[in-house]
Structure 1
Amino acid sequence: MASRKALVERELPLYIEKLKAPESLKEAMLYSLNAGGKRLRPILILAALKAFGKEESLGLPAACAVEMIHTYSLIHDDLPCMDDDDLRRGKPTNHKVYGEALAVLAGDGLLTQSFQAVMSHETLSPEKKLRLISELVHAAGAEGMVGGQVADMEGEGKTLSLEDLEYIHMHKTAKLLTFSLVAGAILADAEEPEVEKIRAFGQHIGIAFQIRDDILDIEGTVDKIGKPVGSDTGNHKTTYPSLLAIDGAKDKLETHIALAKNVLADLGMHQTFLQDLTDLIALRES
């Protein structure tokens, strides 16, 4: 994890520093991009490539692209018109440092620059670039993360069904995590049945990731998770613990982790890194 994280964090700023753009915009983009985090999504791309026996460096442009999209989503999530958070990754949120207008534009810049990162891959065929971008649009846009965020907002103050909650988390969280694994499989020239199996694996760990997030919002600490705890309760959001109680949420987490490992075992490739990442998602404290 540490070595892959360092590799991604060396590459990420290069895409922004070279832009012919206002320095204030680049500074705001880099502030959030360099703020740390697990870098789980880019690491999943590299892990999928490793699992298929390919060079991990092949995935760096796509890894940087997905982290740009994730970072933009966090900037926008923290805005007063959304979650109105003051802390992210233990630091003041982007709009607290640069103001709301520049924070919005920094997020916009990261979103659009992500597609350029994919297109800049020098050795990738045009067909693969188009497929990666198509997958990324589906995962990040109205049919994915953005649509999930809207459903999440509209669900505030309401008691949602488990089906409604799973829709939100599949789209808001799981689809971008799933993209990372699918991107790695595409870059590794995996056969279509393998791509679909790793997509199913990604969906299970994506839901598991969000369930763990809901649990940490109750049991975590600001020092560990880097943002205020209890915000879901304060925003009157339905969560897995609120629907299933804390023990039920933990049981649901274990179910998705088990299903993810079953899919992984069925793939029959070098799985150690992906298995370890699955356990990390289940047990993480931040």
Structure 2
Amino acid sequence: MYDLYSFENGNPNREVKSLVIRERVCKSSLVPSKLPGLNYALNPYRGCAHGCLYCYGPSVLKVRRESWSAKIEVKINLPDILEREVINKTGVVGIGTVTDPYQPIERRYCITKKSLEIISRSNLRASILTKSDLIIRDADFIAGMGGAEAGITITTLNDDFAGQFEPHAPPPSKRIETLKKLSDVGIDTYAMVGPILPIVTEDQLDTLISEIASTGTKRIMIDKLRLRPDMTKTLISCEVMNDPRFREEFFNKMHSDSFYQRIQGEIFKLCKKYQISFEKAF
């Protein structure tokens, strides 16, 4: 067992003592992807130590939600497999579609870094999505890759909300700072404002879009919260859900198409105000 944040640049929102790390051998590295704009998905780790309550990874991979952030599997041979699989392939590889490729354990194992080095020598392009400032370690290398892009997920600027819904991810201010550093070295960047969390993402929405625009990134992508069967219990465990008014408003809005249409419209207007491109993830 390792101390969770002995590998992280940033400071976590909530302290975690330890988690279980297991090395495993994988049979493949590139999986065909149906996600818009991606041809393949690459996930260096199974599980994610950030522990975001809304994560859809456990549902997609049919893993118990309690285990998802407590037991991380390292695909120790993934770079070797990738070296063979990139041959004669073209298109875009999404790195981190069901895990965070720069979660703390990446500092020790460098599976993501090694994968990027292999992709850079191929005819594939990389599209990275993370919440972690550890990506700054590889910023210069990513900037030199042909056609690579990097996205930073930011659902709120409110540290308290982030600390409850994304308990072990770097705080929002660190993510804004990371987005700026990536943009400054010439990487094609975007901010993923998603999933949109009722009340949580609404808080300081104008300031959120303004802060993102100030980093130099040219694009904001949004996505709605899609409730999975095992997600309700986890969301309700949030401290803020002890307030019955908050809980009722949160879940009522979450099931409301009109709410998402309104928020989407507000974000679209703010993107025009701050001269930043607006996209829907799906």
Please, what TM-score do these two structures have when normalized by structure 2? 0.36
Q: Which has the higher strand share?
A: 2
Please, what TM-score do these two structures have when normalized by structure 1? 0.36
Q: Which has the higher helix share?
A: 1
